[in-house]
Structures are given as structure tokens and as C-alpha cells.
Amino acid sequence: MEPWIKNLGVTTELTTTTTGATVKPRIAIYKPWTASMDEGWSQWILEQFEFPFAIVTNTDILASDLSDRFDVILMASDRPRNIKDGFAKGAVPPPMKVAWVPWVLRI
């Protein structure tokens, strides 16, 4: 751990006491417009270790200052253009139109 501490320039303190204030980080995961396997794995890891977290989207980012709500926002590795604009035009097929077919539900 020492090399990480020096490399990242982080101030740390090792204690042996288990009393005192418990720090609960306010964590969010950014859910991009495009599907992201990295985002899914990040969410899975936090769930496995029972870290509380929230999902934030572009709408959340545009709506408010998230620093009031979160200490850290995890972002999947993605192209900046994908994060900003979402899917390229024509990259996703249009939604299917499903007609009601009454005989489908008959047993």
C-alpha cells in the first residue's frame, strides 16, 4: 500500500482503534447514455461489498451540483463523445411497433 500512497500523494493515518467516527462515503455511479460493461461491473462490485451507492445520469448532472450529494462519482471508461452525445444517429434500431394480436393470449 505504501507505493500507492506515495504515487497518489494521499495523506494517510494508520490506527489500531476501532472507536470514533465512521466515515460513510457518498458514492454514485455514472450511467452513460450508451450501455457500458464497465459501469455494470462497477455496480456489481459495490453491491457485492454492500457499499451504498446511487446511480446518476446525464439528467442528474445537468440538473444540479452533485458535490452536495456525493463524495465520489465512478465513471466507466468511455469516449468523451459517447458520454456527451450518446449513440451516433443510426447506431440503434428504432423501437419495434407491436400490434395487438388477441389470439396470442388464448390457451
pLDDT value of residue 27: 93
Looking at residue 25, what is its pLDDT?
80
Give mean pLDDT in consecutive 10-residue pieces for the chain, a chain of 107 residues: 78 73 82 81 91 89 85 83 72 70 57
Per-residue model confidence (pLDDT) at position 100: 63
What per-residue confidence (pLDDT) applies to 77? 78
pLDDT score recorded for residue 48: 92
Kind and range of the H or E run holding 54:
strand 53-56
pLDDT at 105: 55
Q: How far apart are CA 73 and CA 66, in angstroms?
A: 9
- Distance (Å, whole) CA 57 – CA 33: 8
Q: How many CB atoms are located within 10 Å of the residue 73 CB?
A: 18
